[in-house]
Amino acid sequence: MKVKKIISLLLLLFFTSIQNPVFASKKQITDEQTAYSYVNIGWWQELNDPILMDYIIKTIQNNHDLKTATLKVEETTENKNLVRAKELPSVGIGAVPALYKLPGTTNSDGLISLPLFANYELDLFGKNRDKTKAMDKLIEAMRQNERASYISTVSATGSTYYNIVKLDKLIEIQKDIINDRKKIYDLMEISNEQGLISTADTVNAQKAYIRAEADLSDLIKSRERLLNMLAVLTGETPENKADFKRISFDELVINKKIPDFISSEVIENRPDYLASELMLKKTGLEIRAAKKDFLPTFNILGLISFNSTKYLSAMNWTNSIALLAGNAMLPLFTGGSKIANLKLQKNKYNQAIETYKKTYLTSVQEVNDALCDLKLDNEKYLKTLESYEVEKSDFKFTQMKFKEGIISNLDLLQKRESMLTTEKLVTTDRTDYFINQIGLYKATAAANVN
């Protein structure tokens, strides 16, 4: 009966262990619904740009950095399973066939042994449990890092998209400037031939024309590079960048208000702040586990083996060996490794405290910087827009003077170039507003603060 009880205990330990996630784990894959909650997909929908929305969704689905971030969470989960395995018994079974010959005999005989063994460390002081809890905190921190990656990556997609839209408009304006400067140069060349203006003025007009063409090349190059970047962010090949759609700059609508202030609750919900807090808790648990390393360990060992000299015969209880034992071990000298490990964990805890404090201060700074940029750049845009309206009115008066024959075509073209130059500033400042909105979105961890 005792042998049967031992067998039942060992079998129970065996089946308990194989049902544990250490042996059969389910992959923790971040689904799209979770990803959408990470990035607050409703915030992007409020921009009312279906083309941008399509790029955001492609980024969530196809970006390789985001897939890597998810895989890192899965990797940490499996590492936790490795740590948690120490809380569970280890069970094994084997087969030992043998051929032997006894002294004083001329015949050899066969033997087969089928051992089933189990070993379990009683976690009386909760050391192994603390290590598992520490890994739980690490997994939560990695999920916050994953969330931060999603917010940062979709922010990069949005900023890249708006910069491309801006460059489309700047290239359009620059082409108009080139056409005007070409006309100005041609008129000055004719005037120079007639002796009305100096050669120096003609040369300066030529330089301005060439410089405008060079500026256009720079704008086109910048747009090409941003299209390549957008391709990588959305998981596309840059070969398809010619097919990348975007909204017209003139169709952009400013529909988000600028908040007067940002609540501190937003900062406390930032993934980097939460991750640093979780890492602080993790290192605290690791210190507790390191202290418990100085306490004794208790183990239970179980073994049952069936032995038979006849390979084809059914084995029975009469030829079985069973063992159930326990031990308690207290290391007296380990070369100082346990003390060093405790000091190491305390050092990590102190580092985690400093990281936690710095992360909070950095979070406050980034939120304040983002809000400041948004407010001041918006004021700058409104002033530039006011200047542009003045330039347009001035140009209309210039057109009237030209029609009345008061001024020359050259004066009209120069005035138009001045207006186009101001329009370029308006384009840049207006785009900065959208990019600063994304900057505030990123600094506040995708929170609705408008």
269 has pLDDT over 90: yes
Closest CA to 445 of 275, 277, 257, 268: 268
Q: What is the pLDDT of residues 175-232, one digit of tens each?
A: 999 999 999 988 888 888 888 888 888 898 899 999 999 999 999 999 999 999 999 9
User: Which is it for strands 297-308 and 90-93: parallel, antiparallel or unpaired?
Assistant: unpaired
Domains along the chain? 31-62+123-295+330-443 (1.20.1600.10)
Burial (Cβ within 10 Å: 0-12, 13-18, ≥19) of residue 407 = middle
User: Which residue type is seen at 175?
Assistant: K
Position 15 scores a pLDDT of: 46
418 has pLDDT over 50: yes
- The stretch 400-416 carries a mean pLDDT of 87
Helices (DSSP H) in 194-270: which residue ranges? 199-233, 264-268
Task: Return the SS3 of 15.
Answer: helix
Q: What is the pLDDT of residues 312-327, one digit of tens each?
A: 454 566 667 888 898 8
Closest CA to 361 of 216, 264, 234: 264
- The stretch 71-84 carries a mean pLDDT of 94
116 has pLDDT over 90: no
Position 93 scores a pLDDT of: 86
- Mean predicted lDDT score pLDDT of the chain: 87
Distance of CA 282 to the CA centre of its chain: 21
Q: What is the pLDDT of residues 328-372, one digit of tens each?
A: 888 888 889 999 999 999 999 999 999 999 999 999 999 999 999
